[in-house]
Every structure is written in C-alpha cells, then in structure tokens.
Amino acid sequence: MRRLLKKQLKAQEMNKQSKLKLYAKALAEIVAKKGIDEKKVISNFVKLLVSSGYENKSKEILELAEDIILAKQGKRKITFETARKSTPSQNKLLEKFVKKGDIVKEKINPELIAGIKIIINDSKQFDASMQSKLQKISWQKK
C-alpha cells in the first residue's frame, strides 16, 4: 500500500486536498475488502500518515474515507440541525426522510432561532431556519 501511494503521489504534482482524497480513497478500498486484518491495516495506515507528515490531517482523511464508503453503499450522512432538542413528534417526521443504513446526527444550534437545517453528506443543504429567513429579509433590504 505504501509503495503504491508513494508512486502515485510522486507521479503527479497534487495539491494537499487531492493528496488527502487519495489517502482516503486508498483507505476506503482496503477497508472494503473482506477478510482483512483491521488492526494491522489501521496500524500501517497511521504509520504511513506519520511518515508522510499527514498525521494532523487524519480526522479529515477518515471523514473523506467514510464518505467514499457510504457513497459506494448507497447510504447518506444526514445532519438535522435545530435550535432546540426535537420533540418525539418532530422525530417521527424526520424518520420519514431517513433511509435504512443512513447515518443520522442531530445537532443543536441556538443561533438558528427556530426551524431546521438538513445537511446531507456535508454538502447538500435545506435550510428552513428562522436565522436564514431573517438573513434573506436583511439582504433584500440592502
């Protein structure tokens, strides 16, 4: 794994983000294989990150790898962001939006004032918060 990555990294002049994606893709491909020794893979991967100076980017690389794995499995990472803890009736409505296997995270953000923000795979976003409505009104007045 190490030799393959080093060859790929040397063959192309890549910016840092591309390198992080390459590490994440390599990790996702290895983890997806059946019958692997997970402890050994993780240990070797950490050594690789340390030797290449990317140990401080490990969290970002793991998140990218998780996104790749979820995409291959047809699953999504969904964050429901609300101003306050959601009620059981609100949770029932939100459950209709979630597919089996999706990873769901709830986040409380008082700055939203009211409403909800739904974020899918850290990129697609539906913002029905009071904060966004107030911002739209203030932009229209300018």
Assess whether 63 and 90 both reside in one domain.
no
Distance CA 84, CA 41 (A): 40
Assess whether 91 and 107 both reside in one domain.
yes
Task: Please name the helix (run of DSSP H) or strand (run of DSSP E) that holds residue 19, with its range, or none.
Answer: helix 16-32
Going edge to edge, which strands form the sheet with 77-82?
103-108, 77-82, 115-120, 124-129
Assess whether 132 and 81 both reside in one domain.
yes
Written as one string, the DSSP assignment of 30-48 is HHHSTT--HHHHHHHHHHH
pLDDT over threshold 60, residue 133 = yes
Across 34-44, average pLDDT: 85
pLDDT in tens, 56-89: 999 999 888 988 888 888 899 999 999 999 888 8
pLDDT in tens, 79-128: 999 999 988 888 888 888 899 889 999 999 999 999 889 999 888 788 88
Name which of 68, 71, 93, 69 is nearest 80 in CA terms.
93
Distance CA 67, CA 69 (A): 6
Looking at every residue in the chain, the average pLDDT score rounds to 85
Q: Single out the residue in 73, 91, 111 at which a domain terminates.
A: 73
Assess whether 54 and 109 both reside in one domain.
no
pTM summary value: 0.64
Assess whether 133 and 94 both reside in one domain.
yes
Q: Report whether 89 contacts 96 (CB < 8 A).
A: no
Domain that holds residue 9: 2-73
Q: Single out the residue in 73, 88, 120 at which a domain terminates.
A: 73
Assess whether 90 and 60 both reside in one domain.
no
Q: Predicted confidence band at 142 (pLDDT cuts at 50, 70, 90)?
A: low
**E-strand stretches of the chain:** 77-82, 103-108, 115-120, 124-129
**What's the one-letter identity of residue 45?**
F
